[in-house]
A and B are shown apart, each in its own frame.
Chain A
Amino acid sequence: MKPLSLTIILSGLAVAALPLVAQDRPKPDAATGEIARSGQREDFRTFEAEDGDLAYFADAARLTQEGGEAVYEAVCAGCHMPEGEGAVGAGMYPALAGNEMLEFPEYPIYVIVHGQKAMPPLGSILSDEQVAEVTNYIRSHFGNDYVEGEDGIAATPEDVAGVRP
C-alpha cells in the first residue's frame, strides 16, 4: 500500500478545497509533474509515468498531445502503424510511407478532418494546429519529403480551419 501515500496527502488538501474544485479546476502542467486533468489527477500507483505519458487521456473529448510526432503516435499510428507502413486484413489501412498522395497538404488535411471510407473524421478531436503539425509530420517522414526544400509546402492551421465544416 506504499504507493498510496501521496494520494492520501493530496486527498487531505482536496477535502478543504472541494467546493472550489469543480468550478476552478487546476490547469494541467506536465512539466512540473502536477497532475490535474481527467485521468491524470492522481499519482501513479503501478508504474512510473514519464512526461510524454501525462499527455495521454488528459482530456476525455480530445487529444492534447503537441507536435506532429506526438499526435501521430497517439492516434494515427493505431491504423497506419508506427513506421507508416499501413496494415492489411480483410480490408486495409493504406501505407503513408512513400505515399505520393501526400505531395500537397490539402488532401491529407481534408481526409484527417472529414475522414474517408473506413477512416473516421478526426476533426473534432484534433485542433487546427494538431492537424497541421501531423500533416507536416507524415509529409516529411516515412520516406516522404514534401515540406522542406525549394518546392516544399508546409500546412498551416489556417489551411485546416478552411476545410472545417
Chain B
Amino acid sequence: MSMSRRSLLQMVGLAAGTTAMYQAMTTLGYAQASNYAGPIKLEGDPQGAKVLILGAGLAGMTAALEMRAAGYEVEIIEYREKAGGRCWTLRGGDSYTELGGATQEVEFAEGNYLNPGPWRIPHHHYAVLDYCKRLGVKLEPFIQKNYNAYLHRSEAFDGKPQRFREIATDYRGQISELLAKATDQGALDEEVTEEDKQKLLDSLVEYGMLDENYRYVKSDHTSEYRGYDKWPGGGLNAAPEPSEPISLDRILQSDLWTWLVEAETTHHQSTMFQPAGGMDMIAQGFEREVGDLITYNAKVLSMIEDENGVTVEYEDLEGGGTQTRTGDYCICTIPFSILGQIDHNLSGDKAAVIDSMYYAGSAKFGLEFKRRFWEQDEHIYGGITYTDLPIALISYPPYDFFSDGPGVLLGGYAWGATAYQFNAMQPDERTKWAVEYGSRIHPQYTEEFSNGVSVVWHKVPWVLGCYGIWQDREADYETAARIDGRIALAGEHISYLPGWQEGAILSALDAVERLHAQVTTSNAGDTQ
C-alpha cells in the first residue's frame, strides 16, 4: 500500500500530537514559516449540506472554493458590488465613495494603480502564493529595500534626504571600527577568547570595510560600498574618485538609523512579491472560480442560528428589500467592527470578544506624476524612502520601469495620530498635504504632480478600519475561533498575521477543516 506524504503526516499527527507532526513535517521539508501545508483535502461526504458564507474577501472566497469542491452547496453574500474586500486596487476610471459621501474619480493613466490595502506578499506566505499559482495570478517582484532610495528627517542633514546606501554603509563601517578598536585594545578580553578575538577582528575588517589600522576611512574600498564622488567609467578620465564617509556622530544625531532594519524582518526580507497589474488580480482570480456563488450589494442585517440551521437576513442595496437565506452552516468573515453591529445570537463570551475589537486606522495615497522623475532624475527604481514627515514613506512603483508616461507613487502610508487627522479631512485636502510633504523630499512634485487618490481606512464603508486589534489576544483568541454551533468565524482578525492576506486565508482554511470535521461526524451520526 502506498502512502502519500500528507496521509503519513496525518497519521503522525493523530498518533503523536502536533509537536511530533511539526517535527516530521520540517524533516520532510514541508512546514516552514507559515502553517500552510499545501491544498487542503476535505474527505468525507457533506451530503449536500448548505453553507452560507458572509463576505467575499479572500477568507470567504477561499472557504467557498474549497467547500464547493468538497461537495457543499455554497452561497456567498457580499456587501460590495465586487469581490475581494481589502484585496483591492484602484485604477483610472474607478470611482470610490467613502463614508460621508465624498467620491473620488480615479484619473490614473492606463496601467497605473494604487493598492489601498495589502500591497506586498512575503516569500513565506505559502497559502497566498499557492492560491496565486492555482488561480493563474501572475506575480512579479515587489522591491522593499532600495539602497538608492532615501532616508529623511526634517531635522537631519538640513532636511536633505540621504541615500540609504550611504547611511547604511557608513553606520556599519563606523560601528565596526569602534568595535574593532575596543577589541584590539583588549576591552573585550573577558568576552572573547584569544582565538575568537582574531577572528572577530578579521570579520570586522571584512564586514566593516576597515583598513589595516581598523579604520573606516575614505578609500576606493569603502567607496565600493558607499558610492563614489566620481563613479568608475571607461575611456579617458575614467578613474573613480572616492567619497568621504559621514561621521559617526552625524549619523547618530540624525536618527536616520531608525529605518536601517525595516527590510530585515521576516515579513519584509527579499524576496517579496506583488501581483502584476494590482493586488486585486488575486481577488479576480478567486472571483473567476466562485463568482457565480456571490450575491453582491447585499448588506447583512442578521445572522441567527438554531438547532436546524442558520438564517441570514440581508438588505438588497439595489432596491430588492429585505431578503432571507438559510443554510445548514455558516462561515462568517464579516469584520468584527461590522459584525458587532449586526443582530446575531452567538454566545455571550464570543459576542464580548467581537465587541471588544476595534480596527486600526491608516491612510494611503496614490499620487500620479506626469513623468517618472524618481527614475529619470534620481535613479530610484522601486523600493521605499522613509521619512519622519506625516506621510511616513514614499514607495516607488516596481513595474513599468523606464516608461515615458505618467507614474504613480505610493505617496504616503500613515498610521496612528497622523492617520486620524488624515481621516478627518476631505480627499482633496488630504492629497494637498501629501503633495506638500512629498515635495520636501522630491522638489519635482511641484512641477510634475498630476492627480491623486487616497483611502483612509476608518472611512471605508465595509470595514471601518484596516485590521482588527485585539484587546487581549492571548485570552480571547480561542473564544473567537471556536465553533460553538453552526457558525464559524474567519478572516485576518482570527490569525496571528493581522492585516496580512495569509492570515485571512489560513484562518478560513482552518475554519473550513474544523467545520467539515463537525459536519461529516454529525452526518455519520445521522446515518447510524
Q: Interface residues, chain A, CB within 8 Å of chain B?
A: 1, 3-4, 7, 11-12, 14-15, 18-19, 21-22, 25, 38-39, 41-42, 44-47, 56-57, 59-63, 73-79, 81-82, 87-93, 115-122, 125
Known: A61-B416, A119-B358. A41 touches B341 (CB 8 A): no
CB of B249, distance to nearest CB on chain A (Å)? 7
Is the C-beta of B337 less than 8 angstroms from some C-beta in chain A?
Answer: yes
Check A77 against B424 for contact (C-beta < 8 Å): yes
Cα–Cα, bound, A51→B249 (Å): 36
Contacts of A21 in B (CB 8 A): 155, 253
Is the C-beta of B73 less than 8 angstroms from some C-beta in chain A?
Answer: no
Cα–Cα, bound, A131→B443 (Å): 39
CB of B343, distance to nearest CB on chain A (Å)? 12
Q: Which residue on chain A has the smallest CB distance to residue B415?
A: A60
Check A76 against B424 for contact (C-beta < 8 Å): yes
Check A14 against B424 for contact (C-beta < 8 Å): no
Check B250 against A18 for contact (C-beta < 8 Å): yes
Cα–Cα, bound, A119→B342 (Å): 15
Chain B 339-370: CB-based contact to A (< 8 A → 1; otherwise 0): 01110000000000001001111000000000
Contact of A39 among B158, B355, B432, B437 (CB under 8 A): B437
Cα–Cα, bound, A42→B387 (Å): 14
Check B358 against A57 for contact (C-beta < 8 Å): no
Is the C-beta of B284 less than 8 angstroms from some C-beta in chain A?
Answer: no
Chain B 494-508: CB-based contact to A (< 8 A → 1; otherwise 0): 000000000000000
Is the C-beta of B390 less than 8 angstroms from some C-beta in chain A?
Answer: yes
Q: Which residue on chain A has the smallest CB distance to residue B253?
A: A22
Check A90 against B338 for contact (C-beta < 8 Å): yes
Cα–Cα, bound, A121→B470 (Å): 12
Contacts of B435 in A (CB 8 A): 46
Q: Which residue on chain B has the smallest CB distance to residue A3?
A: B446
Check B154 against A41 for contact (C-beta < 8 Å): yes
Q: Which of B141-149, B460-468, B518-526 binds A? A: B460-468
Contacts of B389 in A (CB 8 A): 38-39
Check A46 against B418 for contact (C-beta < 8 Å): no
CB of B434, distance to nearest CB on chain A (Å)? 10
Cα–Cα, bound, A63→B420 (Å): 9
Q: Which residue on chain B has the smallest CB distance to residue A55?
A: B421
CB of A63, distance to nearest CB on chain B (Å)? 6
Known: A4-B443, A42-B154, A60-B417. A118 touches B464 (CB 8 A): yes
Q: Which residue on chain B has the smallest CB distance to residue A26?
A: B155
CB of B392, distance to nearest CB on chain A (Å)? 9
Q: List 24 A-B contacts (CB under 8 A).
A: A11-B158, A19-B253, A22-B155, A39-B437, A47-B432, A56-B421, A57-B421, A59-B417, A60-B418, A73-B424, A75-B424, A78-B420, A78-B456, A79-B458, A81-B100, A87-B461, A91-B337, A91-B340, A91-B341, A117-B341, A117-B355, A118-B359, A120-B469, A122-B420
Contact of A89 among B99, B334, B445 (CB under 8 A): B99
CB of A121, distance to nearest CB on chain B (Å)? 7
CB of B8, distance to nearest CB on chain A (Å)? 44
Contact of A61 among B250, B334, B342, B417 (CB under 8 A): B417
Contacts of A76 in B (CB 8 A): 424
Known: A7-B159, A22-B255, A56-B433. A45 touches B446 (CB 8 A): yes
Contact of B155 among A41, A57, A89 (CB under 8 A): A41
Check B99 against A87 for contact (C-beta < 8 Å): yes
Is the C-beta of B160 less than 8 angstroms from some C-beta in chain A?
Answer: yes
Q: Which residue on chain B has the smallest CB distance to residue A46?
A: B436
Secondary structure type dominating chain A contacts: loop
Contacts of A120 in B (CB 8 A): 358-361, 458, 465, 469
Most chain A CB within 10 A, of B249, B435, B459, is at B459
Check A46 against B432 for contact (C-beta < 8 Å): yes
Contacts of A45 in B (CB 8 A): 436, 439-440, 443, 446
Is the C-beta of B388 less than 8 angstroms from some C-beta in chain A?
Answer: yes
Check A117 against B458 for contact (C-beta < 8 Å): no
Check A14 against B100 for contact (C-beta < 8 Å): no
Cα–Cα, bound, A39→B358 (Å): 27
Q: Which of B159-199 contact A (CB under 8 A)?
A: 159-160
Check A1 against B443 for contact (C-beta < 8 Å): yes
Most chain A CB within 10 A, of B340, B421, B445, is at B421
Contacts of B253 in A (CB 8 A): 18-19, 21-22
Q: Which of B250-274 contact A (CB under 8 A)?
A: 250, 253, 255
Check A121 against B436 for contact (C-beta < 8 Å): no
Contacts of B445 in A (CB 8 A): 46
Task: Please name the 7 residue pairs, one residue from A and one from B, whose CB atoms are nearest each other, closest first.
Answer: A89-B461, A78-B423, A78-B424, A11-B158, A118-B337, A87-B99, A57-B390
Contact of A91 among B100, B338, B360, B416 (CB under 8 A): B338
Check B458 against A90 for contact (C-beta < 8 Å): no
CB of B443, distance to nearest CB on chain A (Å)? 7
Contacts of A89 in B (CB 8 A): 79, 99, 460-462, 464
CB of B53, distance to nearest CB on chain A (Å)? 15
Q: Which residue on chain A has the smallest CB distance to residue B432?
A: A47
Cα–Cα, bound, A57→B423 (Å): 12
Is the C-beta of B299 less than 8 angstroms from some C-beta in chain A?
Answer: yes
Contacts of B425 in A (CB 8 A): 78
Cα–Cα, bound, A91→B359 (Å): 13
Check A125 against B361 for contact (C-beta < 8 Å): no
Contacts of B158 in A (CB 8 A): 11-12, 14-15
Known: A18-B250, A22-B155, A57-B421. A115 touches B443 (CB 8 A): no
Check B462 against A118 for contact (C-beta < 8 Å): no
Contacts of B433 in A (CB 8 A): 56-57
Q: Which of B368-410 contact A (CB under 8 A)?
A: 388-390
